[in-house]
Amino acid sequence: MTRYGATLTARETTIPGLVVFDLPVHGDSRGWFKENWQREKMTGLGLPDFGPVQNNISFNDAVGTTRGIHAEPWDKWVSVATGRIFGAWVDLREGPSFGAVFTTELDPSKAIFVPRGVGNSYQTLAPDTAYTYLVNDHWSPDAEYSFLNLADETVAIAWPIPLDQVGISAKDLAHPALADVVPIPPKKILVLGADGQLGRALRAEYEGARHVEFATRADLDVSAPGLSGARRWRDYAAIVNAAAYTKVDLAETPEGRRDAWAANAAGVAALAGLAAAHGVTLVHVSSDYVFDGSSDAPYREDEPVAPLGVYGQTKAAGDSAAATAPRHYILRTSWVIGDGPNFVRTMASLAARGIDPNVVADQHGRLTFTSEIARGIRHLLETTPAYGVYNLTGAGDVVSWADVAALVFATTGHDAARVTPVTTEDYYASASGPIAPRPRHSALALEKIADAGFTPADWRTTLRAYLTPTDTPQS
């Protein structure tokens, strides 16, 4: 029987993410009224902002009509407009809760949020029952579905009306037992730029994870037509944009400028539009070059950008584009070292070959290893703190490039005094091509990422491991 005047409340169930809502129903002699779906109020109680795109109604004439158990790759908001049902939900997702069961009755004063991959079924307990549900994706023949037999002995649903006395389809009766069900896999993560330094670090971080895909530009060009149809994007939880144009000096040339804007700004805008349209989280990696380096204090996430050169300008534009995706993490980093040619390997090679380098001493920051960026990305995606911009570099003291070079020499068994500190102007005085302006101070504040539960490793510790052959290389 419908309850009138209840307070809007949310109650967790025995299945993770399956939440029952009590809905206020206002009635008098004329009938009743309820807010069946009210985004602001319901998300305020913790309901995911799941973005419904379709509303369906199933009308059932007779008592005992029984439907399910179907698990689809989308979320549902289930309620009853008229009548009453006995609902049964079975977790058919991969993971430790696979096979968990929850049952309850629904009338117009109750609704339930059914997360992706949880099997949904019901039996009508009153005639003329109108069962209604919102979903956040359209049916597709390419989607992955799972089904469970209504009479499965393992889950042992206590149907109020025996199944041999109800109206039920032959198809539902023929569904497999729990032991033969194909579990619904988690939503996928797509890593772009999979052949770059950060892409390789993400491959190592997610090694063995079946739900993570890796794509190079040859696999998926975000600037090509037809991006929206290149994947079934609702099957993805996140896109990690590890691709970028990083040739800082070449970006100052006409050709480099075009390529940098295409990759770092236009490409990111395309990804942000895709993420917004399909409810996907966009992870975008940015740079200290969005700042002019005039501050002696570490830059916070909320400070205004002021890029000096083309590369920094395109990265700042990419940040603005990425921020248009409702679910986004923008990771600003600096002085990146990974698996491939980089400053640390160059210094180690010079030390081994007996070459004494001049190294810039008036640019200051911290090294960031791609293994740390990959670890931080995984942390954000798994713990889901507030969306927005996060700085992520190595922790520790702020030093110059010359200081880093001297430490590389010393760590590899060479005399650090062989490194000669010079000014930026002196270092580039004999350069023949265009030289991009560099920020003199690149240190980024790390309090926000720490508050989100991630502790960056000290860059000196990571550098020593990176240079020690007996340790696993950091990438």
328 assigned to active site:
no
Structure tokens given for 160: 């109020």
Neighbour-count burial for 349-369, b at 16+ CB within 10 Å, e otherwise: ebbeeeeebebbbbbbbbbbb
3-state secondary structure of 272: helix
Please state the three-class secondary structure of 290-320 as a single string: HCCCCCCCCECCCCCCCCCCHHHHHHHHHHH
Residue that is written with structure tokens 């501050």 in the block: 295
Cβ-based neighbour number of residue 144 at 10 Å: 15
- Name 175's Cβ contacts closer than 8 Å, sequence gap at least 6: 69, 147, 148, 149, 150
- Name 277's Cβ contacts closer than 8 Å, sequence gap at least 6: 228, 233
CA distance 116 to 74: 4
Catalytic member of 133, 245, 299, 466: 133
**Residue 116 vs residues 152, 237, 309: alpha-carbon distances, Å:** 21, 11, 45
Write out the H or E segment, with its range, that includes residue 328.
Answer: strand 328-333
364 assigned to active site:
no
Neighbour-count burial for 402-430, b at 16+ CB within 10 Å, e otherwise: bbbbbbbbebeebeeeebebbebeebeee
Catalytic member of 70, 145, 387, 428: 70
Structure tokens given for 205: 């971080």
Cβ-based neighbour number of residue 463 at 10 Å: 22
- Maximum Cα interatomic distance, the chain, rounded to a whole number of Å: 95
Contact 195, 216 (CB under 8 A): yes
CA distance 313 to 307: 5
Instruction: Please give the single-letter amino acid code of residue 109.
Output: S
3-state secondary structure of 120: strand
CA distance 287 to 331: 8
Q: Which residues carry out catalysis? A: 70, 133
